[in-house]
Structure 1
Amino acid sequence: MSSDDKETNNWAMILHLSMLSGLVVPLAGLVVPIVIYVLKKDSMPGLKPHGYVVFNWMISAIIYAIISMILMIVGIGFLLLAALGLVSLIFPIIGGVKASEGEVWPYPLSIKFFK
């Protein structure tokens, strides 16, 4: 593996894990991945598929959160929101580990807005 591939894999891992920054600073989990992608996409073309996976999940999670909030009226939204919170923690970690190995891992349940 060349040093360029290793650097791309490291930035891809950081891109996935950057979604967890929202646990520390509100909205950082949405802003930080976008900033990393915009700054690195031209110099590292291998980062683009990871960016698409991350952005697909971010948009999907927002849609699922809105649906969960609406369903809170009937009581099941709380369970769905808790499940969404759990997978929003697990998926970036798995994606980051896979990215460090050079693999693009599409998040399950993610709606494909970008391909």
Structure 2
Amino acid sequence: MRQDNQLIVIAHLSQLITLVTGFGSLILPLILWLTQKEKVYQMDAHGKNIINFQLSLIVYCLLCIPLILLFGLGLLGFIALGLISVIFPIINAVKASRGETPKYPLSLNFIN
């Protein structure tokens, strides 16, 4: 296994591809994680955190849809999720560049 903090930083920042293309925030990190988890030291832990975070965002977005229809609070939820989905990948990419293994807030454990 090799140490490659740059690739781990790219994995965290790859979640922001949605800002450019409209999709891919789950697909691109998933591909990076699946292809590099055996080759790059710490990629497995970072990849699991990223995938769990992205799956959690999908669940929270699905929960916001009925909240829009019922209470109108879903719009606030979507705004908060949008901010979280942009801010935390950047923060965690900086932490990963320093060699830390960051955790994402509100992340459910789908993959252990």
Report TM bin, short chain. Answer: over 0.9
Match of 2:12 in 1: 16
Q: Please, what TM-score do these two structures have when normalized by structure 1? A: 0.90
Please report how far the alpha carbon of residue 114 of structure 1 lies from its aligned counterpart in structure 2 after TM superposition. 2.2
Match of 2:100 in 1: 103
Match of 2:66 in 1: 70
Q: Say whether the 8 Å CA contact 2:26–2:55 is kept in structure 1.
A: no
Q: CA-to-partner distance for each residue in 1:24-69, whole Å, 9 max, x for gaps?
A: 1122212111111122112114100000100110110000000011
Question: Counterpart of 2:21 in 1: which secondary structure?
Answer: coil
Distance 1:59 1:30 in 2: 8
Please report how far the alpha carbon of residue 100 of structure 1 lies from its aligned counterpart in structure 2 after TM superposition. 0.7
> What amino acid sits opposite 1:52 in the alignment?
K
Match of 1:90 in 2: 87
The percent of aligned pairs where both chains have the same amino acid is 38
> What amino acid sits opposite 1:39 in the alignment?
T
Distance 2:62 2:49 in 1: 20
Match of 1:79 in 2: 76
Q: Which moved more, 1:68-77 or 1:31-40?
A: 31-40
* Stretches of 4+ aligned residues off by more than 4 angstroms: none
Q: Say whether the 8 Å CA contact 1:19–1:30 is kept in structure 2.
A: yes
Q: Size of the alignment, in residue pairs? A: 110
Structure 1 portions without partners, runs of 5+: none
Q: Say whether the 8 Å CA contact 2:48–2:111 is kept in structure 1.
A: yes
Matched, 1:59 2:71: no
